[in-house]
Structures are given as C-alpha cells and as structure tokens.
Amino acid sequence: MKVMQIFMGVRKELWEFKKTLFWMPLLIGIFMIAAPLLKLLLLEGAQIRVVFEGVSNADNLNNVQGLTRLFLATIMGMFAPFILVGLVIQLYYFTTCLFDERRDQSIYFWRSLPVSDGQNIMVKLLTGALVVPAIFMLAATLVVFIFVLLGLLGCYILDVGYDISLWELWGNANIFSNMTSVWTSLLFYALWMFPLFSWLMLASMFANKAPFLWAVLPVALLLVIESYITNYLKLDSHFLREALLEYFALAKELIPNSIQQVGTPKFILISALWNKISLIGTALGIGFIYLTYWLRVNRSHL
C-alpha cells in the first residue's frame, strides 16, 4: 500500500509539471540531433574522408583506454545539456513545490487523504532529486542510441563506399557500461545536491511570498555579514564563502585527479561526485528536511 501511495504521489507531482517535463527534453533532443547532422551535411566528401581516416588510424584504434575515455567523454557531453536544464527545472520545482500547494490551498485536500505529511515531503524530495533528472537522462539516453544507430549506418556506408573500416571502434566503445556508469552517478549527484534541495524545500515551506527570495536572501545576507566582519577584523579567509565554493564548485583538477585514482575511465564521474559529498552537508540537509516537516505539520497556511 505504501509503495502504491508513493507511486501515485510521484505521478501527481509529475502531472503538475507534465508540459515542462515533456517539451524541454524533446526540444533539447531535437537540437542535439539536428545540429551535428546539419554540420555533417555541410561538409564536403573529401573533408569527411579525412575525418574518418584520422579516426580509423591504427594507432588510435589500438589505444583502448583512450578510446574508452573518448566515448565516455562523448556520452557525458551529450548528457550535459539535459542535466543542466534539468537542474534548472529541479531548482524551480523545489522552490515552489510546497509553496504552491499552500497558496492554492490544495494542501487541505491532500491532507484529507490517508497520507502523512512526512510521506508527502519524501515524495516531493524523491520526485525532484531523482525522478525529474531521470526524465532528462532518459531523453539523453535516447539521443545517444539514435547517434549509435546513425554511427552504425555511417560505418556501413564508409565500409562499402569508401573502403574505410571503423567497426573496431565499437568493440572498444563500451557504450552500455559507460551508460550504466552515467546512470549510476544519478544517485551520487542527488546526494551531492541534497543540502541545496532540502534548503529550497525549507524556503518553499517557510515563505509567505516569493520563496526564491527567501532561499537566496539569507545566504546572501550571511555572506555580506561575513565579508564585513572579515574585512573589519582583517582576517585572512572567508569561511562560509570558501565552504560553499568548495562544496558546489567542480574544480578543474577534480576530473584529472579522479582519472589517476580509479582504474577504469567509466568510474571517473562516480568518483568525482563521491568526492563532493560530505557528512556535514548531508547532516545539514537532514536538518533542513526536518524543519520543513515541522513547519508543514505546525504551519500550513500562508
């Protein structure tokens, strides 16, 4: 029964954002497919042959680890636009998910159902942290497999028409294992962003108006106060600013360090995200979720 309630709760949350969650991945996918195909069509035959002869070079084909990293980087590059747009949708969702139901008073209808406040909050957290990005990742996966099919067709055409064989590339691509690695990283991504998501839910539950401002202004105010105190006392560092930058910024040296630490390229992304997760951040996220639950139980009106 609980599983069915959670499933129906997730469906209800997705129904409220169904247009955005359908059209945005579709438009991104169309652009991702159309742009490189248009560029390829504009190339001349001699240019195409030079490109594929370079790829089919024996030295390149024998560099198995290099090819694996190349295909992983290509897949990550295809996923990146979907993940970035999905992040914007996530931030909007978490900022409004608890505020909107208090504004239109639908919270009283959902409270009439045999579903606890805690379960409602967990459903919203699950939807925003995992289900929403999974929809965008599914669209990215479909785009990748469309390119795989086009690539197979291109290999056949080059093999027959130009006598250029690229079939060895597919043996070193590890497409399915790389895709599995990218999908597995979704859980680590959700854990990394958990403090931010829970903070936005708290702001959404607390705000009477403009939940986005309530989410941004306290942090901005703390940073301004810290900057004033640091400058006044002539301290060497800004603790809060540096902590936020260190936690949320993906430093340039993060990926190279991860490459050296892990044995196979497909674990690079998972290792990078795992290194960003901290116990302090997770504890803060749990605290924000508890405060969100307490406010929902004790103060549900605007």
Query: pLDDT value at position 199?
Result: 96
Of 182, 218, 177, the closest CA to residue 200 belongs to 218
Give me the pLDDT at residue 48, please: 55
> Whole-angstrom Cα distance, residue 137 to residue 25?
9
pLDDT at 232 (0 to 100): 79
For the stretch 93-117, pLDDT in tens is 999 999 988 887 777 766 777 778 8
Q: Which of 55, 25, 38, 212 is nearest to 134 (CA)?
A: 25
Indicate whether 173 pLDDT > 70: no
What per-residue confidence (pLDDT) applies to 256? 43
User: What is the distance between the alpha carbons of residues 128 and 93, in angstroms, rounded to a whole number?
Assistant: 7
pTM of the model: 0.83
Q: How does DSSP assign 222-283, residue by residue?
A: HHHHHHHHHHHHT-S--HHHHHHHHHH---TTHHHHHHHHSSSGGGHHHHHHHHH--HHHHH
The position carrying tokens 């990748």 is: 144
DSSP code at position 104? S
Give the pLDDT of residue 102: 83
Report the pLDDT averaged over residues 119-130.
93
With pLDDT > 90 as the criterion, what percentage of the chain qualifies?
33
HEC secondary structure over 225-237: HHHHHHHHHCCCC
Q: Residues 252-281: what's their mean pLDDT?
A: 64
Residue 158 has pLDDT above 70, yes or no: no
Is the pLDDT confidence value at 266 over 60?
no
The mean-pLDDT minimum among 46-55, 87-96, 247-256 falls in 46-55
**127 pLDDT higher than 60:** yes
pLDDT score of 137:
94
Which is more confidently placed, 159 or 221? 221
Exposed (0-12), middle (13-18) or buried (19+): which is 104, by Cβ within 10 Å? exposed
Q: What share of the chain is helix, strand, coil (3-state, %, to 5)?
A: 85, 0, 15
Tell me the pLDDT band of 43, cut-offs 50, 70 and 90.
low
Instruction: Please give the Cα distance from 12 to 94 (Å, whole number).
Output: 15
CA angle 293, 298, 300 (to 5 degrees): 85
Which residue ranges make up each domain of the chain? 2-298
Per the CB < 8 A criterion, the answer to whether 169 and 55 are in contact is yes
Nearest to 170 by CA among 147, 152, 194, 154: 152
What average pLDDT does the segment 168-174 reach? 65
Report pLDDT digits (tens) over 204-239.
999 988 899 999 999 999 989 988 888 877 777 778
- By the 8 A CB rule, do 123 and 230 touch? no
Going by C-alpha positions, the residue among 129, 261, 250, 264 that lies closest to residue 188 is: 129
Stretch 72-80: mean pLDDT: 79
Task: Tell whether the model's pLDDT for residue 65 goes beyond 80.
Answer: no
